[in-house]
């Protein structure tokens, strides 16, 4: 794909207006025409005779005009997260969220599981608890939006004060010249009311719903940001594990080479053709290589468990890297195209625009508190009473039904300036978010440029360190031949072996850093335009390793004893 075609594809993917394409075309014509765009711009008359024309940058489009006042999530811009594990990973589900081991055998490692990079990405998307927590926040924001939308509907309340109520009374009457009379009165009372209300005019309703809707969209953007970050963390953890595995391999090779060198040096010393100094130098180099191997084994164990934490694997499983470190591919877009893509695709900028919209909506809701409210209501009240007893003059039963329909009007004329102060605070928060937008925009550009330049640096480092490894191997081979011929000392062999070890470490680091920067660019631009490297043509037979010189495990001595070299 040509560079011009790539630009057109990128513009189409970004959905930028034609003005943006014209700007890129103008930049390309300016580069091809050796500054013709600068000359076409008028310059002050005073500068025409005193110096070159001054570059005046054109006005940039407004972010709200480009992205909209309330950006919405476009699911086509990011691959959805995996929701279930495949057949090859179904035995690695995440433990229960509240599971807690209580016995040592429950955390004992019983399986080392080799994983590829694609399997790691699937596991982290399905198992990672942080991503699940953010998905729960999206559900919470959706529920909050539904609660705010409910303000548009009427409310119906049923109230029953007496369901039922029993009452009893007893009356005794004494009359002169007449017998005393006693009467009793018992009654059952049932009363209920039904009230329906609907806010016809509510100045705080629409701003509250708008703010809740924007918060829901912001939560969805937050989920996408977390998903992209999680994929980057998974890639970085896997690449670091590959670096540690390669460090162990290099350390083992170095220890084997040092053991061979020490064995040959001791044989030459016993034959009288080497000195005690040569033996000491070989032993010193072996100690250095053993330390390198020890550090590599520790880094390998730490990186394995770091990856297991990220993947939330079962407590008795430790992941290993199934693939050796290799260059994943090449980054196609230019630096300028990468920056523009980051501005278009980074959800952090959309979140900041939503913060502005949320603050403005909350300001409108605050002002709505001192505006007129109008409610329409309809009520129905009913009460029934039945009387029992000995009073002959009582009413047997009574009933009452009362229906009402009307309007409620409420207008707070004075609140001490509270509403205006809250609105002013939210407007100021919106202004703060606009400054945060500029900060994030500049930070995004710096991140893209940093990853781009680091990628170029590591690309060159791969080439230089590869040559360094080849030359160091040849130098070590020649040094050993010279030592066998008696024309050099053990010092030259030791130095060349150390140079080879350091060259292999730098070569492995260059590949790992290159892949990490490649993953960072994919995350920081939102693009996935990596051109994969061609498949290597490997021999049918697995290369044979030098197992004649086994690397024996070194016993772990207590620190107090190890710190006294004379006691070893």
Task: Read off the pLDDT of residues 436-488 as tens digits, 9 standing for 90 and up.
Answer: 999 999 999 999 999 999 999 999 999 999 999 999 999 999 999 998 888 88
Domain assignment of residue 57, yes or no: yes
Strands of 174-204, DSSP E: 181-201
Closest by CA to 254, choosing from 546, 556, 565, is 546
Backbone angles phi, psi at 365, to 5 degrees: -65, -35
User: Is the pLDDT reported for residue 351 higher than 90?
Assistant: yes
Is 489 or 498 the better-scoring residue by pLDDT?
498
- Confirm if 39 and 29 have CB atoms less than 8 A apart: no
Contact 340, 207 (CB under 8 A): no
Q: Which of 423, 456, 489 is the last residue of a domain?
A: 423
Mean pLDDT of 137-143: 96
pLDDT exceeds cutoff 50 at 27: no
Residues 211-247 pLDDT 10s: 999 999 999 999 999 999 999 999 999 999 999 999 9
Q: What is the mean predicted confidence (pLDDT) over 268-292?
A: 91
- Of 59, 71, 77, 54, the closest CA to residue 19 belongs to 59
Residue 540, in any domain of the structure = no
- Which has more confidence, 8 or 57? 57
- Domain range spanning residue 419? 156-172+181-204+369-423
Rounded CA-CA distance 52/46 in Å is 11
Burial of 322 per CB tally in 10 Å (0-12, 13-18, 19+)? middle
Q: Are 188 and 396 in contact (CB under 8 A)?
A: no
What is the tally of structural domains in the chain? 2
Domain-located, residue 30: yes
* 348-362 average pLDDT score: 95
Say which residue, 161 or 357, is predicted with more confidence: 357
pLDDT at 357 over 50: yes
User: Is 49 within the bounds of a domain?
Assistant: yes
The values of phi and psi at residue 488, to 5°, are -150, 180
CA distance 340 to 12: 12
Q: What is the pTM of this model?
A: 0.81
The DSSP code sequence of 354-411 is: HHHHHHHHHHHHHHHTTS-EEEEEEEEEEEEEEEEES-TTS-SEEEEEEEEEEEEEE-
In the chain, the N- to C-terminal Cα span, in Å, equals 64
Q: How confident is the model at residue 58 (pLDDT cuts 50, 70, 90)?
A: confident
270-292 average pLDDT score: 91
Coil/strand/helix, residue 115: strand
The answer to the question of residue 385 being in a domain is yes
Considering only residues 397 and 1, tell me which one the structure prediction assigns the higher pLDDT: 397
Q: Residue 169: its pLDDT value, please?
A: 65
Last residue of a domain, one of 43, 67, 91: 67
Predicted confidence band of residue 172 (pLDDT cuts 50, 70, 90): low
- Range with top average pLDDT, 1-10, 17-26, 342-351, 549-558: 342-351
Last residue of a domain, one of 34, 50, 67: 67
In a domain, 193, yes or no: yes
Residue 138 CB partners (closer than 8 Å, separation 6+):
216, 219, 220, 222, 223
According to the model, what pLDDT value does residue 229 have? 95
């Amino acid at each position: 794909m040509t560079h011009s075609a790539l630009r057109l594809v990128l513009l189409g993917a970004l959905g930028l207006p034609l003005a943006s394409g014209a700007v890129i075309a103008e930049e390309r014509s300016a580069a091809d025409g050796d500054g013709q765009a600068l000359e076409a711009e008028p310059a002050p008359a005073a500068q025409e005779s005193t110096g070159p024309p001054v570059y005046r940058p054109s006005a940039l489009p407004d972010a709200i005009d480009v992205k909209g006042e309330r950006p919405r999530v476009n699911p086509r811009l990011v691959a959805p997260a995996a929701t279930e594990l495949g057949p090859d990973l179904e035995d690695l589900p995440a433990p229960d969220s509240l599971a807690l081991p209580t016995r040592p055998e429950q955390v004992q490692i019983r399986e080392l599981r080799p994983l590829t990079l694609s399997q790691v990405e699937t596991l982290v998307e399905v198992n990672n608890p942080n991503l699940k927590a953010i998905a729960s926040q999206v559900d919470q924001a959706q529920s909050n939006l539904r609660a705010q939308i409910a303000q548009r509907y009427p409310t119906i309340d049923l109230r029953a004060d007496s369901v039922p109520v029993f009452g009893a009374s007893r009356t005794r009457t004494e009359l002169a010249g007449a017998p005393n009379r006693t009467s009793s009165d018992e009654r059952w009372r049932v009363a209920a009311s039904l009230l329906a209300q609907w806010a016809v005019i509510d100045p705080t309703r629409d701003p509250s719903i708008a703010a809740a809707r924007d918060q829901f969209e912001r939560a969805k953007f937050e989920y996408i940001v977390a998903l992209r970050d999680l994929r980057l963390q998974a890639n970085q953890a896997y690449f670091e594990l590959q670096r540690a595995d390669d460090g162990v391999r290099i350390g083992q090779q170095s220890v084997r080479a040092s053991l061979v060198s020490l064995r040959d040096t001791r044989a030459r010393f016993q034959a009288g053709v080497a000195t005690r100094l040569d033996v000491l130098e070989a032993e010193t180099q072996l100690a250095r290589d053993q330390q390198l191997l020890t550090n590599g084994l520790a880094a390998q164990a730490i990186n394995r468990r770091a990856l297991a934490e990220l993947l939330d694997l079962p407590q008795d499983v430790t992941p290993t890297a199934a693939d050796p470190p290799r260059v994943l591919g090449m980054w196609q877009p230019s630096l300028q195209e990468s920056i523009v893509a980051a501005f278009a695709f980074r959800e952090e900028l959309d979140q900041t625009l939503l913060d502005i919209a949320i603050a403005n909506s909350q300001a409108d809701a605050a002002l709505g508190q001192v505006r007129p409210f109008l409610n329409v209501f309809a009520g129905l009240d009913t009460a029934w009473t039945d009387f029992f007893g000995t009073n002959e003059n009582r009413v047997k039963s009574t009933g009452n039904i009362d229906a009402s329909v009307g309007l409620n009007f409420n207008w707070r004329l004075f609140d001490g300036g509270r509403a205006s102060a809250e609105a002013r605070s939210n407007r100021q928060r919106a202004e703060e978010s606009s400054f945060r937008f500029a900060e994030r925009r500049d930070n995004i550009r710096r991140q893209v440029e940093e990853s781009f330049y680091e990628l170029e640096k590591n690309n060159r480092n791969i080439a230089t360190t590869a040559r360094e490894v080849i030359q160091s191997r040849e130098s070590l081979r020649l040094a050993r031949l010279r030592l066998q011929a008696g024309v050099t000392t053990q010092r030259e062999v030791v130095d060349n072996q150390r140079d080879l070890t350091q060259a292999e470490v730098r070569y492995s680091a260059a590949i790992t850093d290159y892949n990490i920067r490649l993953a960072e660019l994919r995350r920081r631009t939102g693009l996935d335009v990596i051109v994969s490297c061609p498949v290597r043509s490997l021999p049918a037979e697995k290369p044979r390793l030098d197992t004649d010189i086994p690397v024996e495990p070194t016993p772990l001595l207590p620190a107090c004893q190890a710190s006294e070299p004379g006691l070893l």
